[in-house]
Structure 1
Amino acid sequence: MAITAISGETLKTRGVVDMSRLNEFVPGFSFGQTGSDVRPAMRGVRTANNGVTGDPTIGYFIDGIYQSRTSQAALGFADVATLEVQRGPQGTLYGRNTFGGNIVVTTNLPTHELDYGGTLTVGNYKKVRFEGFLNVPVTPNLAARFVLVDDYADGWVRNKNFSQADLFDENKKMVRGTLKWDLGDFSAILRGDYVHQGGNGASAFGYKQIGSYIDQGSCQTLFNASFIGLNERAGNRDGVADCRATAASPTIPVGCGVDLGVPIEYPGEWDVVGNNYKPFRDLSQASTSLTASYDLGPVSVKSITGYVHYRGRRTTDSDFSASSIAIDQARTQADTFTQEVQLLSNTQGKLEYVLGGYFLNDNLVNGFINQQLPRTIVSTALANPITAPANNGTYQFERVKVYSRAVYGQATYHLTDAWSVTGGVRYTHEKKTYLNATGLFYLPRTAPNGANPLTLITIDDPLPSDSIFPAAPSNCGGAVTAATILDANGAQVLSTYCPLKFGQT
């Protein structure tokens, strides 16, 4: 097993306050992020599904307590004693969702000396971060430690269309209290913390799209075709023919022009966006844990009890443009209770072992809303914006309950001072229940200013023919395209076909 251990002093000196820069210290580790969803990877193993129906492939533990959602890692850490990155499967001791490895954070414990300190960091983008601690001996057997963090910074992904909507800003506050009670053979550590992260956040920004590859003959998106600097997000259609089909395709008649999207704004600037919506991020977490140990001589008994309540809400401009089309909002909540009991060997002989039992109860909720707006399409190819009514939005609600129980054991036999053999086994029984509801929002549609050039007609017909709409060619290829088809005269002819409905605009 490959382990990279980093001291808290090293992290403080380097200014590392979350896992986004761990690749500077850890071989084989890389960090990715889409919006508030953190995507660490080790040795090619990476979490692809960040929803409540998926599980992380890399475990994240703070003081022995499992953090079940990847977005919890975006909250960062403070007053760290050590941070370990354990590469490779860690299933024996850590159990579920550790196939790629673990990130294990251990915070500083109270000591029996009065101590206090703080760190002030000032940087560009109006960065100001303060982290302070106070250590207080209460009695000869009881000590307390308190930590406070206040972190602020402007966003570094600039929004040239909305100066107050820059992305990747920071607005975080955290408090933590720790009590340690030490009676010699028996000790107990009680922790409690609360953290809130606001601001605009990262929205859904993972990279800057600069265009798409379009086959000029069929006007279809194909790999290694011609590059066109267009934003093809649904709804971004300005009525301009970006391509005219010269070869037959399943969905576009020969001779038709195709409106594939609107031109990308600021295409040569990877850290600049041109959205017209100010997103928000509202992440919060409250957690408490109790670790109790009793020394029985040749063995010790250890209990680790933890509860974490996490809630996250964030929004994004889902059309990624200066147009008013749609807003996405995502909500995630996790209530995670864990209980672990260990029996550990205390002897200094050749054999060391640990036996344990583990229980997890994780209640997860996810909500997603796509709110469609009365459309105002802004395009650099047009002198003036065009308008259209809103489409129906969508809504999804998911609830997942996870019950996991495990027993495990691991032993190490020291053959010599330099050589040892380690073996382990773990048995896990896990049950998941899943509830899902998905539907459409039929939002009130107020008439936009100006004429509405789009009229949607839907006809129930298993296989419509061209005779249904003699004034314009129909397209019954059996596939739905997000593009807008234009006839030879430039009139819009958006044609889609599915088994029951045929729509033409």
Structure 2
Amino acid sequence: MHSFVRGGLLAATSLSFFALTTPSQAADGADAAAAAAAAATAADSAAAVAPADAQIDDGDPSRGEVIIVTARRRQETAQAVPLAISVIKADSIESTGNFNVVKLQQVAPTLQVYSSNPRNTSVNIRGLGVPFGLTSDGFEQGVGIYVDDVYNSRVAAATFDFLDVQQVEVLRGPQGTLYGKNTTAGAISITTNQPTFDFEGRAELTLGNLNLKQAKAAVSGPISDTLAARVAIASTSRRGTIYNVATRRWINEQDNIGVRGQLLFQPNDDLSITVSGDFSKQDPYGFGTSFVRVGRTQRALSRQYDALVAAVNAANPGRNYAVPSRNVYDRLTDIDAPLQAGNEIGGASLRVKWKLGAGTLTAISAWRYWDWKPQNDRDFSGLSVVSASNNPSQQNQYSQEFRYNYEGDKVNFVVGLFGFRQRIDTQGLERQGSDASRWSLTGAQAADASILSGLTANNTQWLKSSSAALYGQLSYKLTDKLTIQPGLRINYDKKEGYYSRVVTTGAGVVISCTPAPASGSVLAAQCGVYQPQTTSPAASKWNLSYDLNLNYKVARDVLVYATYAKSFKTLGINQNGLPLTTANVPDLTASTVKPESVNHFEIGLKAQFWDRRATFNLSAFLTEIKDFQATVNGGQFGTVRGYLANAEKVRSQGIEADFKIRPSDRLTAYVNGAYTDAKYARFTNAPCPPELSGGTFYAAGVTSDLSQAGVAGALSPRSCDISGQTLPGVSKWSFAYGAEVNVPARLLDKDGQVYFGVDGNYRSAWNSNASPSIYTRVDGYALTNFRVGFRGDGVDVFGWVRNAFDVNYIDLLQVAPGNTGLIAGTAGDQRTWGGTIKFSF
């Protein structure tokens, strides 16, 4: 704790100094004060851009802009909300090219998003949220994603392009009282533009290198005096960033389309009924990886990557296999399995808002679906080790929420009921290829391709999940300056799952591994790769979340607050196959995982000065989670997708600072920074990293020699104590910055502004494996973007360059199965450039 205090003070001093002395270095910005400027840009991503007064109508233009948020399920100014919140306005999203959730981390430093494809996307805040690694249906996310108050239960179901978005609110820290059971790290609330009774419209076209084409359009207006409609459509396509020499085409492309329609019925000022429907489809050719490196494991040297490639080549004269490049930044691959990433998302909702006395009753009924159609290459190479790895899924979810918001002079409160039902069906297939025997077997069996070639695991699984909750939050003014805010949520969850794996040989013969086959037999070799399994886990759990916030208005535009929150993430079910015991049979004790239990402490300052031309927010937090749900992978082909396990405790603590300044209508600048220390406080039975894996296990009860990391042929620990090591995906230091300057100009008979903007972000090094490895360390990097353009009444035209200095950086590293030492990954986008034109009326 003392080291944290010292580190926290250092972080606070550094962030404050950086924020207060270098706004001219920051980027992106223009939150225009005047409507004609329409210059709201990524500057709004600073966690504070609104006055601290609770009254929404306190919008004196001489004292800065007012940003309205709904973080506490009611409309209020951002600076009045006593929690850490980043508000990213629509123009910020568009001008910085952050057109989906995956890109938001470029403007919100404590948000981490990592994706190997839409389904396998991790969205974390402060290092917490989704278990890092390949996704299992049986766990819940820890960052709740909401679109117009509708909960999206799967991260994959929220990877659509932003469509006619008004703003995005990133709420940092547990939000269990108002946002539900699975918001232990925070929530992302996306608000779309609503139908209007004034006719309006907008259109946008972007063209760029890599054959980028993006078009957006929206139109809104009245149908009658009481009925209004809004329709929006968007399309994005872009050539891939990795060239596959095996298929002679680019992969990891973008091919997205989306449409949203809304009807608003408003017979009077007290009642509004909104019906919404949306559909989006992503059908890119991808996703794949490139060779990054080989890291020495404890497997016998003859069974590690380079020796295995040599053995395959020796057994196939004239083949001479080699990866097309050992430099990931050459952006080449030779993966030979078919690739597909079809992702279809849609749904409908009905929202009724009815003013009752001093409050408002809101009812939200929603249905959403998700259809995932993938094809992957899970050996990450041009060799046919795993010839197919496909896990298509279909999800349907239904949710119903009722809540009542009361607003008074001294008392505000929210009470609500929430119900949720979900079903996910998955039909998995994984098949071994013609090189699998050489890769996975030894002796004479390694030379017999027929043993494993065509060996197929067909997986059938489903998950039923039900949830119900009663919640409430009270805000009571003890004095004009001091407010107390307690909250409570009672939640019930029930999960039922089914998993069945049927294994067939290349000849189509179903195999059984019970009783255990004779050692050294063909059947034993096959069972060592895929074992038939059938499990039907079921569990239910009551949980209680609560929080207490005290906030004090030191001055008109200065608010300090302190929060304690007790939250949880519901129990999980392993749905992708269980790990094997020392007897080489599925470990049924791993069928379910315990709920996470969260204790969270936070203090913060939200301040504006210089007539609200400057905003400075500071927060310090400490979050401890018992029974943290981690995705782990023991390197076996049979559990190639990983499985869930509980780490005894993790801890995330840090300091966040946000600073924004707008001295005049001609200049806006901001800088946001975060110091995050996120670690496994205690994880004594974790899978070992690749450098301590692959060898014969130590005998049970024998103390392992951890000094033999990367020594071929050394004995391997059965598990590793990784207590004190950093959580995956977390950078200790992260910054986002931006600035925009403009001058009056006239173009094509239009009065307006010529503007120049710069924005960027920096992240320090992080690790890309659940058990941190020396082979999966990702170096820190800084990205810088520029834009220059003209905006006037109803038009905005600008050119842009992203990653202007063509920095090489890694998006994600992955450890190939089998403990061969192969590390594959994806390089981040190279320099891109293009132009955008926007019209509005």
Give 1:153-172 correspondences, 5 Å limit: 153-164=238-249, 166-172=250-256
Q: Aligned partners of 1:363 and 1:236: how far apart in 2? A: 46
Residues 1:107 and 2:187 aligned together: no
**Aligned residue number for residue 66 of structure 1:** 151
Structure 2, unmatched stretches of 5+, are: 1-82, 440-446, 509-515, 522-581, 585-634, 638-693, 696-841
Q: Aligned partners of 2:465 and 2:232: how far apart in 1? A: 32
Q: CA deviation at 1:422?
A: 1.1
Aligned to 1:41, the other structure's residue is in SS state strand
Residues 1:320 and 2:380 aligned together: yes
RMSD: 3.2
**Aligned residue number for residue 500 of structure 2:** 437
Residues 1:44 and 2:107 aligned together: no
Structure 1 runs of 4+ off > 6 angstroms?
376-379, 477-484
Number of aligned residue pairs: 422
- Go from structure 1 to structure 2 and tell me whether the alpha carbon gap of 1:146 and 1:462 turns closer, same or farther (over 3 Å shift): closer
Q: CA deviation at 1:387?
A: 9.3
Give a deviation string over 1:416-467, Cα, whole Å, max 9, x none. Answer: 555422110000011111111111133448xxxxxxxxxxxxx954699xxx
Q: CA deviation at 1:323?
A: 2.5
- Go from structure 1 to structure 2 and tell me whether the alpha carbon gap of 1:237 and 1:72 turns closer, same or farther (over 3 Å shift): farther
Residues 1:337 and 2:395 aligned together: no
Q: CA deviation at 1:78?
A: 1.2
Q: Aligned partners of 2:101 and 2:489: how far apart in 1? A: 28
**Aligned residue number for residue 246 of structure 1:** none
- 2:301 maps to which of 210, 219, 244: 219
Q: Aligned partners of 2:286 and 2:518: how far apart in 1? A: 46
**Aligned residue number for residue 476 of structure 2:** 413
Matched AA of 2:263: L
Structure 1, unmatched stretches of 5+, are: 222-227, 242-260, 380-385, 446-458, 465-476, 485-505
Instruction: Indicate the percent of aligned positions where both proteins have the same amino acid.
Output: 22
Residues 1:181 and 2:265 aligned together: yes
Matched AA of 2:378: S
Q: Aligned partners of 1:304 and 1:7: how far apart in 2? A: 24
Q: Aligned partners of 1:229 and 1:354: how far apart in 2? A: 58
Q: CA deviation at 1:161?
A: 2.4
Give a deviation string over 1:31-63, Cα, whole Å, max 9, x none. Answer: 111222211211110312621111111111111
Give 1:343-358 correspondences, 5 Å limit: 343-347=404-408, 349-358=409-418
Give a deviation string over 1:120-147, Cα, whole Å, max 9, x none. Answer: 1112210101011111210111110001
Q: Which has the higher helix share?
A: 2
Give 1:279-318 correspondences, 5 Å limit: 279-318=339-378
TM-score normalised per structure 2: 0.47
Q: Is the 8 A contact 2:163 2:260 kept in 1?
A: no
Residues 1:210 and 2:293 aligned together: yes
Residues 1:20 and 2:83 aligned together: no
- Go from structure 1 to structure 2 and tell me whether the alpha carbon gap of 1:387 and 1:156 turns closer, same or farther (over 3 Å shift): farther
- 1:396 maps to which of 459, 478, 489: 459
Q: Aligned partners of 1:339 and 1:62: how far apart in 2? A: 14
Residues 1:272 and 2:332 aligned together: yes
Aligned to 1:75, the other structure's residue is in SS state coil
Q: CA deviation at 1:319?
A: 2.6
Q: CA deviation at 1:481?
A: 9.1
Q: CA deviation at 1:211?
A: 1.1
Aligned to 1:210, the other structure's residue is in SS state strand
**Aligned residue number for residue 5 of structure 1:** 87
- 1:238 maps to which of 290, 312, 315: 312
Q: CA deviation at 1:265?
A: 4.0
**Aligned residue number for residue 468 of structure 1:** none
Give a deviation string over 1:258-305, Cα, whole Å, max 9, x none. Answer: xxx975441113432111234111111120001101111122211011
Matched AA of 1:434: G
Matched AA of 1:12: E
Residues 1:87 and 2:176 aligned together: no
Q: CA deviation at 1:29?
A: 1.3
- Range moving further from structure 2, 368-377 or 137-146: 368-377
Aligned to 1:324, the other structure's residue is in SS state coil
Q: Is the 8 A contact 1:156 1:167 kept in 2?
A: yes
Larger Rg: 1
Q: Aligned partners of 2:364 and 2:413: how far apart in 1? A: 18
Give a deviation string over 1:238-260, Cα, whole Å, max 9, x none. Answer: 1659xxxxxxxxxxxxxxxxxxx
Matched AA of 2:455: N
Give a deviation string over 1:334-357, Cα, whole Å, max 9, x none. Answer: 10100000011033x111000000
TM-score normalised per structure 1: 0.76
- Go from structure 1 to structure 2 and tell me whether the alpha carbon gap of 1:229 and 1:219 turns closer, same or farther (over 3 Å shift): closer
Q: Aligned partners of 2:506 and 2:201: how far apart in 1? A: 55
Q: Is the 8 A contact 2:195 2:264 kept in 1?
A: yes
Aligned to 1:44, the other structure's residue is in SS state coil
Q: Aligned partners of 2:358 and 2:490: how far apart in 1? A: 26
Q: CA deviation at 1:148?
A: 0.8
- 1:77 maps to which of 162, 169, 176: 162
Matched AA of 1:344: N
Q: Is the 8 A contact 1:236 1:319 kept in 2?
A: no
Matched AA of 1:337: Y
- Go from structure 1 to structure 2 and tell me whether the alpha carbon gap of 1:295 and 1:237 turns closer, same or farther (over 3 Å shift): farther
